[in-house]
């Protein structure tokens, strides 16, 4: 009887120690997760501020040397002699990616008839002009949320070659995301996003004529994007290791198959999130809501990958114990 009482007492003490050890282990894991969350939040905040303070490098400015319209010829022109400008075939879209160099878009519009030579004055030396530049007006290029480019970011010209049939009007639009105006040494940058705008031919020598364009600019500081994805994935991995069944911090080296499965699944999940949310979006603006969504998706995808890897049966059949 005495031996039996001693055994029961020892068993009860062992059970209490085991329960206390389990609670202590969970408390330690919870503290590590909270500390990691605080550190990740601090690092993400510092990275975000640094990326916002970093200036983007731009390319050459749009050349405005040919933007001045050709003067009007003296004398009236009969309305029936003024050609009409045809419609644009389709919306022109240009994806700039993360580059900040200027881009040029050209649209060829057909006139209803030849541009009359009498509406074009000769050169100062009396010779005929080879090219006639018409007056154009660029409407606001803006995003869906109403944010507009500065007028200096968009320069447009319209020209008609006087050689040949004189029936093609070339509408040229130059978009420069980085401009420096006279008297202002600080460059001005267009915010990332998708901008749509229309250029109008406003010249009495022709009637009508418009071109509509969409320019997509992606958020440039990719270090901030990779940092948010990476830290989100790390937090998801920590939570997954704490909660997943079959893989934990204590068994990483003991269960190599599950550990490798978790690592591969986590990397694939992170890459999928990066491609789906950032790389495939040509007008990713990089605002706060998008970064929060990117971070949350990174955490959730890696946690799910680690959890699935921890619950799958990746141990070879011959190494399994009876009852596994």
Indicate the residue among 217, 234, 263 that finishes a domain.
217
Q: Can you name the residues that pair with 170 across neighbouring β-strands?
A: 108, 159
pLDDT in the model for residue 260: 73
- Collapsing DSSP states into helix, strand and coil, what is residue 230? helix
Indicate the residue among 217, 250, 267 that finishes a domain.
217
Check whether 292 has a pLDDT greater than 90.
Answer: yes
Q: For 170-187, how does the pLDDT look when each residue is reduced to its tens digit (9 = 90+)?
A: 999 989 888 776 666 677
147 with 194, same domain: the answer is yes
Do the domain assignments include residue 324?
no
Do the domain assignments include residue 58?
no
pLDDT in the model for residue 90: 85
What values do phi and psi take at 151, rounded to 5? -55, -30
Give the residue, 136 or 259, on which the prediction is more confident: 136
Check whether 19 has a pLDDT greater than 70.
Answer: no
Q: Can you name the residues that pair with 157 across neighbouring β-strands?
A: 172
Q: For 113-157, how does the pLDDT look when each residue is reduced to its tens digit (9 = 90+)?
A: 888 877 777 777 767 778 888 889 888 899 988 888 888 888 898
Instruction: Look at the pTM and tell me if it is higher than 0.85.
Output: no
Q: For 296-305, how does the pLDDT look when each residue is reduced to its tens digit (9 = 90+)?
A: 999 999 888 8
Give the residue, 81 or 13, on which the prediction is more confident: 81
85 with 213, same domain: the answer is yes
User: Average pLDDT for residues 62-84, to the nearest whole number?
Assistant: 67
Closest CA relative to residue 173, chosen from 266, 127, 107, 109: 107
pLDDT in the model for residue 251: 57
Indicate the residue among 182, 217, 252 that finishes a domain.
217
User: Average pLDDT for residues 189-201, to the nearest whole number?
Assistant: 90
User: Rounded to the nearest 5 degrees, what angle is found at the Cα of 218, between the Cα atoms of 217 and 220?
Assistant: 115
pLDDT in the model for residue 317: 43
Q: Which helix (H) or strand (E) holds 157?
A: strand 154-161
**Backbone CA torsion sign across 36, 41, 46, 47:** positive
168 with 252, same domain: the answer is no
pLDDT in the model for residue 89: 82
For residue 136, what is the DSSP state? E
Q: What is the mean pLDDT of the chain?
A: 74
Q: Strand pairing of 154-161 and 168-175?
A: antiparallel
Do the domain assignments include residue 18?
no
Q: Whole domain around residue 226: which residue ranges?
A: 28-52+221-319
């Amino acid at each position: 009887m005495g031996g039996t009482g001693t055994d029961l007492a020892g068993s009860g003490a062992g059970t209490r120690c085991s329960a206390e050890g389990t609670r202590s282990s969970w408390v330690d894991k919870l503290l590590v997760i909270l500390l990691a969350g605080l550190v990740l939040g601090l690092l993400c905040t510092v990275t975000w501020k640094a990326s916002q303070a970093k200036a983007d490098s731009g390319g050459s400015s749009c050349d405005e040397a040919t933007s001045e319209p050709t003067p009007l010829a003296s004398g009236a022109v009969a309305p029936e002699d003024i050609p009409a400008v045809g419609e644009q075939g389709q919306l022109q879209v240009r994806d700039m990616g993360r580059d900040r160099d200027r881009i040029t878009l050209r649209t060829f519009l057909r006139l209803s008839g030849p541009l009359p030579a009498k509406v074009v004055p000769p050169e100062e030396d009396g010779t005929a002009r080879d090219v006639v530049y018409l007056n154009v007006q660029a409407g606001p290029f803006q995003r869906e949320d109403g944010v507009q480019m500065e007028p200096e970011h968009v320069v447009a010209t319209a020209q008609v070659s006087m050689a040949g049939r004189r029936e093609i009007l070339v509408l040229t639009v130059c978009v420069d995301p980085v401009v420096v105006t006279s008297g202002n040494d600080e460059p001005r940058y267009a915010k990332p996003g998708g901008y749509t705008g229309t250029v109008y031919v406003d010249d009495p020598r022709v009637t009508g004529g418009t071109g509509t364009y969409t320019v997509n600019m992606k958020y440039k500081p990719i270090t901030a994007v990779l940092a948010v994805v990476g830290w989100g994935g790390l937090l998801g991995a920590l939570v997954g290791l704490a909660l997943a069944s079959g893989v934990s911090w204590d068994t990483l080296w003991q269960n190599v198959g599950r550990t490798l499965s978790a690592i591969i699944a986590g990397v694939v999940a992170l890459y999928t999130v990066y491609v789906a949310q950032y790389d495939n979006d040509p007008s990713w603006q990089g605002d706060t809501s998008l970064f929060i969504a990117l971070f949350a998706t990174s955490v959730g995808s890696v946690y799910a990958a680690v959890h699935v890897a921890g619950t799958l049966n990746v141990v070879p059949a011959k190494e399994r114990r009876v009852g596994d």
